[in-house]
Chains A and B, each alone.
Chain A
Amino acid sequence: MGFTQTIGTTRYVFPDLKTLLARATPFRSGDALAGVAAESAEERIAAQRALADLPVRRFLSESVIPYETDEITRLIQDSHNKTAFAPIRSLTIGGLRDWLLSDAADTTALAALAPGLTPEMVAAVSKIMRAADLISVAAKCVNITRFRNTIGLQGRLSIRLQPNHPTDDARGIAAATLDGLLLGAGDAVIGVNPATDNVDAVLRVLDMLDRLRIAYGIPTQSCVLAHVTTTMRAMDMGAPVDLVFQSIGGTEGVNRSFGVDLALLTEAHEQALSLKRGSLGQNVMYFETGQGSALSADAHHGVDQQTLEARAYAVARRFSPLLVNSVVGFIGPEYLFDGKQILRAGLEDHFCGKLLGLPMGVDVCYTNHAEADQDDMDALLTCLAAAGVTYVMGVPGADDVMLAYQSTSFHDGLYARAALGKRPAPEFEDWLHRMGIGNTTETIPARLSPTLIGLA
């Protein structure tokens, strides 16, 4: 049972829902690589018109990947909340777009709707929205999480401090962390991507970050972004684990390529909860995602990369995470070729995550083989700040010397907060004042003496 749409004298036929979604997707290189993109601009708009006429209910009866073969589809279907869905059950995708943009869809209504939305519905409506639409609706979504501070309040913009070092050198990490704190970053998390997944190395960094946090009395959380099994081993050994990190995707197959499944994530989540380390709340998970990961793992089932990305958020929300971010420009030009494609994908990912109820951040980033530069990142960062992004990254000088890509800098975080009138998480903002962190760039306030964190 397919879909048809006539434009002029041409009748376009889309044999199934996943094909319709793929052909309706604004162009990006990854869908062309997968062979699922529209062949022409006219075919794309035909698919978008057909999609706009589709009843939202249809997404409850047809899956893009079969229920029997994919545990993410089962998660999506089995956790769908029909009561929350009721207000939109008679709408089309086009009607849903209109309602989302209307005044009736306020913060309270959107929060109530979230459990009634599936990733595919949200991806579908995003495909017929412009950047301004994606920004306007996301800005109305407020998804608050807590561990040692409060993340996601309206008018706030948090920063993940990302002090990576090519050899996980403790003093190198400490110096980059202090640099970031002095520039107001670190309220989302102080999170290190380890150079290796070696358990001993991860234990050393976990221990060092925890001592640093305590020495300065920072109301925040730390994380070493190792594989979930490495972090579980670290917890077994009594390591100070605040947040459990894992990269996730939108199909069972891509998650298997990451070495995880829902059962393993459930086990890790329960183990982290049992540590009871959060003082304000128990959101203990941190997930990263990104368009193209499923194609990269040859586990995409002919579904477009943006729909699969939205499906990853179903995995995330099952575990009530503190933080989720798309690493939007990291994957490379064969998936998102240039600044235009990265901009669009970053806004889609943020919109979809927020609408599904997640504390959505974005790693505004690019690699040197993508057609992108700092101007593109400034544009995306500014749009995301206007859209109320929960957090962005803070990397010294925007140059990650371990992962060899460019993300947003501590300075960029200050810029975005100033340009859009955003403030840090309240507990962290109070701490910045107490520590005497201000606008000077010469001396370090005495309360933040580098000797306290092993820098002498």
Chain B
Amino acid sequence: MNAPSKWRDLRRFTDARVALGRVGNALPTAAHLDFQEAHARARDAVWSKLDVAALEAALTPNGLPIQRVTSQAEERRRFLLRPDLGRKLPEGATLPKAKGSIALVVADGLCASGVQQQAPALLAALVPALAKAGFTPGHIIIAEQARVALGDDIAEAMEAAAVVVLIGERPGLSATDSMGLYITWAARRGSNDAMRNCISNIRLGGLGADFAAAKALWLLVEARKLGATGVALKDEMPSHYRLT
């Protein structure tokens, strides 16, 4: 490659917004509106709502019972202001017991549209693999106004062996469709982040659903041997590891 002498050639080296040009001290109109569009999409993603009926339809082929819950945060503004409430099931909420199962939680988090788009493909890959590996995939819980730790309440109520939380990740300007996956072995109310393993950036252009499902399975198999997730469980998945 020739050395770049034009400023705009710097764009070859990074996705950062370099070489935008300049009108006086401001951005040219096109670059300004590009930014505004990206922010608009991110804002809409934060305030997006799960289409629960569509999600249920997309998850039904997994053959697992599906249940809906809403956290104590109840609605979006309260969810943003009170992270503590987004971690709690309502008082008196009843969930079916599924002792020893792997609870699968699909949570809106900070980006409902992200989990709406990514969760069906991930669960389609993960659910059959769990059964083959000797786990009991439990119920699928669709959770609204939910933070990661709502999974702890759910796992405790269901007496699950572990909980896998699929959750919409805070949208950035470059990605508004990203999902995270958190695994907590023996999750109970009060479990903390040091007791979880996380796979983030599951999206188009990020980690693929099959790769993320393989990593989740590997972590669950290791967690079962160890009896724990979190700092004790290092992600040492071999590069050749596959779901089948």
Report the Cα distance A444→B43, complex, angstroms.
36
Are B15 and A401 interface neighbours, CB within 8 A? Answer: yes
Are A451 and B13 interface neighbours, CB within 8 A? Answer: no
Are B20 and A397 interface neighbours, CB within 8 A? Answer: yes
Are B10 and A404 interface neighbours, CB within 8 A? Answer: no
B35 — which chain A residues lie within 8 A by C-beta? 374, 397-399
Q: Which residue of A lies closest to B15 (CB)?
A: A401
Instruction: Please tell me the number of chain B residues within 8 Å of chain A, measured between CB atoms.
Output: 44
Are B18 and A406 interface neighbours, CB within 8 A? Answer: no
Are A169 and B14 interface neighbours, CB within 8 A? Answer: yes
B170 at the interface (CB under 8 A from A): yes
A179 touching B83 in the complex, CB below 8 Å, given contacts A165-B14, A368-B170, A444-B7 = no
Q: Is the interface of A mostly helix, strand, loop or mixed?
A: mixed
A176 at the interface (CB under 8 A from B): yes
A418 at the interface (CB under 8 A from B): yes
Are A450 and B10 interface neighbours, CB within 8 A? Answer: yes
Are B22 and A441 interface neighbours, CB within 8 A? Answer: yes
Are B18 and A443 interface neighbours, CB within 8 A? Answer: no
Q: Of the candidates B17, B25, B31, which one forms a contact with A414 in the assembled complex, judged by CB atoms under 8 Å apart?
A: B25
A411 touching B7 in the complex, CB below 8 Å, given contacts A374-B36, A406-B39 = no
Report the Cα distance A175→B1, complex, angstroms.
15
Are B6 and A442 interface neighbours, CB within 8 A? Answer: yes
Q: Which residue of A lies closest to B172 (CB)?
A: A404
Report the Cα distance A374→B34, complex, angstroms.
13
Are B6 and A444 interface neighbours, CB within 8 A? Answer: yes
A334 touching B14 in the complex, CB below 8 Å, given contacts A411-B25, A449-B3, A456-B1 = no
Report the Cα distance A30→B83, complex, angstroms.
11
Interface string of A378-405 (1 = CB under 8 A from B): 0000000000000000011111010011
B211 → chain A closest CB, angstroms: 17
Report the Cα distance A455→B19, complex, angstroms.
15
B9 — which chain A residues lie within 8 A by C-beta? 450
Report the Cα distance A29→B172, complex, angstroms.
23
Are B17 and A175 interface neighbours, CB within 8 A? Answer: no
Report the Cα distance A401→B17, complex, angstroms.
9
Q: Which residue of B lies closest to A166 (CB)?
A: B15
Are B31 and A172 interface neighbours, CB within 8 A? Answer: no
Q: Of the candidates A32, A172, A404, which one forms a contact with B13 in the assembled complex, judged by CB atoms under 8 Å apart?
A: A172
Are B4 and A397 interface neighbours, CB within 8 A? Answer: no
B170 — which chain A residues lie within 8 A by C-beta? 367-369, 404
Report the Cα distance A369→B110, complex, angstroms.
8
A399 touching B173 in the complex, CB below 8 Å, given contacts A163-B16, A165-B14, A172-B14 = yes
A204 → chain B closest CB, angstroms: 16
Q: Which residue of A lies closest to B31 (CB)?
A: A397
A164 — which chain B residues lie within 8 A by C-beta? 16
B5 at the interface (CB under 8 A from A): yes
A369 — which chain B residues lie within 8 A by C-beta? 46, 80, 110, 170
A406 — which chain B residues lie within 8 A by C-beta? 39, 173
B5 → chain A closest CB, angstroms: 6
Report the Cα distance A396→B42, complex, angstroms.
18
A308 at the interface (CB under 8 A from B): no
A333 at the interface (CB under 8 A from B): yes
Report the Cα distance A397→B22, complex, angstroms.
11
Q: Which residue of A lies closest to B178 (CB)?
A: A404
A117-164 contacts to B (CB < 8 Å): 163-164
A414-445 contacts to B (CB < 8 Å): 414-415, 418, 439, 441-444
Q: Of the candidates B11, B26, B45, B83, which one forms a contact with A415 in the assembled complex, judged by CB atoms under 8 Å apart?
A: B26
B2 at the interface (CB under 8 A from A): yes
B157 at the interface (CB under 8 A from A): no
B7 → chain A closest CB, angstroms: 6
Are B5 and A444 interface neighbours, CB within 8 A? Answer: yes
B134 → chain A closest CB, angstroms: 34
Interface string of B85-125 (1 = CB under 8 A from A): 00000000000000000000000001000000000000000
B57-97 contacts to A (CB < 8 Å): 80-84
Report the Cα distance A369→B45, complex, angstroms.
9
Q: Which residue of B lies closest to A172 (CB)?
A: B14
B56 → chain A closest CB, angstroms: 26
B171 at the interface (CB under 8 A from A): yes
B227 at the interface (CB under 8 A from A): no
B195 at the interface (CB under 8 A from A): no
B174 — which chain A residues lie within 8 A by C-beta? 399, 401
B53 → chain A closest CB, angstroms: 25
A182 at the interface (CB under 8 A from B): yes
Report the Cα distance A163→B18, complex, angstroms.
10
B27 at the interface (CB under 8 A from A): yes
A452 → chain B closest CB, angstroms: 9
A455 — which chain B residues lie within 8 A by C-beta? 3-4, 10, 13
Are A333 and B15 interface neighbours, CB within 8 A? Answer: no
A405 — which chain B residues lie within 8 A by C-beta? 172
B21 at the interface (CB under 8 A from A): yes
Q: Which residue of B lies closest to A29 (CB)?
A: B81
B55 at the interface (CB under 8 A from A): no
B221 at the interface (CB under 8 A from A): no
16 CB < 8 A contacts A-B? A163-B16, A172-B15, A173-B14, A175-B13, A175-B14, A337-B81, A368-B42, A368-B43, A368-B45, A368-B170, A368-B171, A374-B39, A395-B16, A396-B17, A401-B14, A450-B10
